[in-house]
Chain A
C-alpha cells in the first residue's frame, strides 16, 4: 500500500473540516448543536446543489458562470407563471425547472455548436439571463405563496430540513454518475484531453450538452428552494452565487483545467466554507473578518495539497 495514496486532497480536506469543527466548537457552545448544524445544512443547500453539478462542468474543463442568473430568472418566472398567468403552483414549478434546464441547454449549445469557450459563453448568458429576469419582473416581487410551498424551504421531514434531503439525493446520484458510469468517465476523459476523447468515439458534444443542461436544472431547483425559503421572489436573487459554487468545487480539489475532481471533495469544500462562515460568526468574528479568514483558509488548503503532492502524484 502506497502511503501517498492516502494523502489525497479529499483526505486533507476532511482533516481540515474536523479540525475546524473542533476549534470552532471550542469557541462557542452554540456551534456543535444539532439544531445549528441542521440549520447550516439548510442555508448551504442552494449553493450545494449548484456546486455538485458545477463539479461535472469543471471536470470537463468548462465553467458555468450563468447559474446565479438562471436562479434569478427561474425565481421570477415561478412567480410570473403562478401569479400573473394563473397556473397552479406545481405546474409553475415544473415549468420553472424546464426553463432552467433549457437555459442550461442554451449554454451547452453555444459552447458545443459554436465552439465558444465556456467562460465567454456563460459570461454572456450571465448578463443575458439576469437581464431577462429584470425585464420580466420589472422589479416587482411576487409574494403570498401558499403554506404548503414553504415546506420545501422552511419545513422539515423526519426532523431534517426538507432541502437537505434533496441535497442528499442529488449528491448521491451525482457521486454514482461521476464515479461509476460511462457518463462520468466521459466527463473525466473530455477534461483530460478533449481531442483524444473525441477520437476514442466518445460523444463529447452530447455529454457536454447534458452537463450544462443539468447545471441549469440544478440552478432552477435551487431557485425553487430559495423562493420557498425567503417567501418572496426578487430579480436580484442568486447574484454572485456562481462564485460561491465555484469556490466550493475548487476547494474540493477539482482541477480548474479539468480531468480531476470528485463530488465528495466538493461536498467537503462546501461544508468547510459553511463551517467557517457559521463558526466564526458564532465565535464573535464580524462578517468582514470572516471573509478574510475564509480567503486565508482557501489558500492554506490548496498550499497543503500542493506540498503533499508536489511529486506530481495526481
Chain B
C-alpha cells in the first residue's frame, strides 16, 4: 500500500508543475480578437493511401460508419446525414454500427470485424486518435477507403478527415459568447467528457489560449470530467455551482450531453441569469433552456451536414476524384468544401444558435 501511495505521489509530482485540468499539450493557434479571418498555411498531403484498392470508380460500394458510440442525438444526426447522402449518390450502401459506450476497445474490435467482412469503405469518429490508428492502418493495407469525421485519428491512418470547424474557430465562438454574457472579468468552469477525448482536449486548450489573448480578465476555475453521461454531467455542474457559489459566472459545456445537463443544473439551482451556460450542443436538446432565457448561445455546426459531407468525401476518395493535393471537393448540396491542413476537409465556420434562430433547426 505504501509502495503504491509513494508511487502515486512521486509520479504525479512529475506531472504536477501546473494545476492542469484539461486541454492537451499541442501548440495553440488562437484567432484574432476581432473578426479577421485566419489565412491557412498551405500544407502537403499528410494522409494515408490504401494499398492496391480495386477500381471502385462509379461502382456500388459498401461503407460502414463507426461513430464514437451509438444512441446519442449527435451521432444519430451524423448517421442521418450519411444515409441522406448515400441515397442521393445512389451507388453507395451505408450502415451505421458503433459501440454502445464510447470505449476504445469496443470500437477497435468492431472496425476489425468490418475489415474482415470486406467492406469498401470505413467512416469513423475516433474515441482516441492513437489507439484507433493500428486498426485503421490495417484497413488501408487491405485496400479499404478510410475517411474520418468529427474526431480525427493520426493523419497517416486515414485518407481524409472531415473537420466540422477548426478548433480555434470553436474556441473563439465559445469564449466570445461567454465574455459577451458574463462581462470581461468573470470566473468560469468547464464540463467536458474526459480529459483525453481529443476534440474536447483541443478545444479546451485553444479556449485557454484565446481567452488569455483576447479576454485576459476571464478566470478559468477548473475543468471537470463527466464522460458522455447525462446524470454525471448534471451532478458535476451542480457540484461546480455549490463549490464556487457566487464566484461562478459561467459554465462551458464541451459535449452535446454536458451542455443541456449543465443548463438543467443551473435552472434547478435557480441561477438562471446569474450563471451563464455556453456550450456545444444540439438545438433540440437546448430549445427548452433557450426559450426559457436561461441559455443565450449554443455553439455547433450542423451534424447532419457533417455526416453528409463525410459520405461525399468517401465516395470521391473511392472514385479517385479526390486525390492527394486537391484543394477542394464537391459535396452535393453543400457545394465545394475546401481542403485545409494537408488532408482535412473543412465543413465551415461554427454556428451560434440563439433564441432567434434555434426554432429553425430540428436535430
Contacts and interface: CB of A to CB of B under 8 A. Distances in A.
Interface of A: 28, 30, 33, 35-36, 39, 43, 77, 80, 84-85, 99, 102-103, 106, 132, 135-141, 143, 154, 226, 229-232, 234-237, 239-240, 277-278, 281-282, 284, 286-288, 291
A43 B99 CA distance: 16
Contact of A132 (B8, B71, B117): B8
A282 B14 contact: no
Contacts of B112: 39, 43
Given A85-B14, A106-B1, A232 B128 contact: yes
A133 to B, nearest CB: 9
B4 A99 contact: yes
B20 A230 contact: no
Contacts of A291: 100
B11 A80 contact: yes
Contact of B195 (A139, A143, A287): A139
A54 to B, nearest CB: 18
B100 A288 contact: yes
Contacts of A39: 112, 116
B11 A139 contact: no
A282 B97 CA distance: 12
B3 interface: yes
B117 A138 contact: no
A103 B1 CA distance: 8
Contact of B196 (A132, A226, A230, A235): A235
B238 interface: no
B7 A141 contact: no
Given A77-B7, A278-B116, 5 more contacts: A80-B11, A106-B4, A136-B12, A140-B195, A282-B113
B212 to A, nearest CB: 20
Contacts of B118: 30
Contacts, number: 113
Given A39-B116, A77-B11, A80-B11, A236 B196 contact: yes
Contacts of B165: none
Contacts of B201: 139
B213 to A, nearest CB: 24
B116 A30 contact: yes
Contact of A237 (B104, B113, B116): B104
Interface string B212-236: 0000000000000100000000000
Interface residues of B, number: 45
Contact of B130 (A103, A138, A232): A232
A80 B4 CA distance: 14
A291 B101 CA distance: 12
Contacts of B3: 99, 102
Given A85-B14, A139-B195, A141-B128, A229 B8 contact: no
B130 A287 contact: no
A25 B235 CA distance: 47
Given A136-B12, A277-B109, A286 B128 contact: no
B116 A103 contact: no
Contacts of B99: 287
Interface in B307-344: none
Contacts of B95: 286
B116 A287 contact: no
B356 to A, nearest CB: 37
Interface string B66-81: 0000110000000000
Contacts of A102: 3-4
B15 interface: yes
B128 A234 contact: yes
Interface in B1-56: 1, 3-4, 7-8, 11-12, 14-15, 20, 22, 24-25
A234 B196 contact: yes
B130 A43 contact: no
A287 B103 contact: no
A231 B98 contact: no
B133 interface: yes
B128 A138 contact: no
B131 interface: yes
Contacts of A137: 15
Given A84-B11, A143-B130, A231-B133, A239 B103 contact: yes
Nearest to A228: B134
A288 B11 CA distance: 39
B8 A136 contact: yes
Considering residues A33, A136, A154, A287, which has the most beta carbons from chain B within 10 angstroms of its beta carbon? Answer: A287
Interface in B112-148: 112-114, 116-118, 128, 130-134
Contact of B110 (A84, A85, A136, A287): A287
A258 to B, nearest CB: 27
Interface string B134-169: 100000000000000000000000000000000000
B290 interface: no
User: 10 closest Cβ contacts across the A-B interface?
Assistant: A139-B195, A232-B130, A230-B131, A281-B113, A84-B14, A286-B97, A139-B196, A136-B11, A138-B15, A80-B11
A28 B103 contact: no
Contact of B117 (A43, A282, A286): A282
